[in-house]
Structure 1
Amino acid sequence: ERAIDETTRRRAKQVAYNVAHGVDPQPLRKKIADITDLLAREDADTAELLAESAASASNRRRPKAEDELVSLIDELTAQMHHAAAELQFELAARLRDEVGDLKRELRGMREGQRP
């Protein structure tokens, strides 16, 4: 009950401040759009990278590590989308960062294999 009373007191104090200073609180809307735009760009990059992987697989035998990396990128991308759909944006951002690291690693592996 003390916690509820403290919350009520703080809310009243914030409302009084807002009225005195003409502040009209607005919810953050831009963040979600930014994240969904970022996810769309990540999708395009992932699709391109996976398409390159499929094309290179038809031309030559890929190392097992590369296959596993491609599978992991695909799996983490799906998890990232699921997290974003569930509005778990912090988790989605961590997964996005991990996918980015894995993509860089995959590109590095490919650069090392080129003659």
Structure 2
Amino acid sequence: YKFRRGDFDVLVGINLLREGIDIPELSLVAIMDADKEGFLRSETSLFQIVGRAARNVGGKAIMYANRITDSMQKVLDETDRRRKIQMEYNEKHGITPQTIVKELKPLVDPSLISNKSMDFGQEAEKAAQQDYLESIKVADDGIQYKASPAMNEITFESKDKLIEHLRKTMLNAAKNMEFEEAARIRDQIGQLEDQL
């Protein structure tokens, strides 16, 4: 989110680039040790990594290596072949290549953000935790937990059931590579477990 918003210029990825990170603003992919044979530098992996820059009209991929491996050569040859076909098609049909434009959505539903003004830092973190704790209402018959306006209210029989639900939600967020959300939910689980 911060990269797409322009807060910083460089994003260092380990496996994320191969796994399909979807950032149209990404204009340069640098592959270090591209000549190291193995799973992470196989032909398929190199195609996946190089393809991250293909969503940007000015996108480039640089493979740093001491020698050109078979996998690298196949990627270079196939990229040239595809580029030639695409350029011919574009010229024939009068198409001007453009970078994919993708809406930049906030990570948090704006309706869930506190209206309290504050500085960022420990005070902000404490306030956010307090907002979360206030969103859980403990009643005699269970716990009311309002996750988002879309969900309305979900009633859980016990804190254990709520924690179980949050764990599943956390794992789904991690599976979808929403790591900040997964970490936030993990912290919520920790707070609930401390109350048990």
TM-score, normalised on structure 2?
0.28
TM-score, normalised on structure 1?
0.41
Higher helix share: 1
Higher strand share: 2
Structure ranking higher on relative contact order (CA contacts 8 Å, 6+ apart): 1
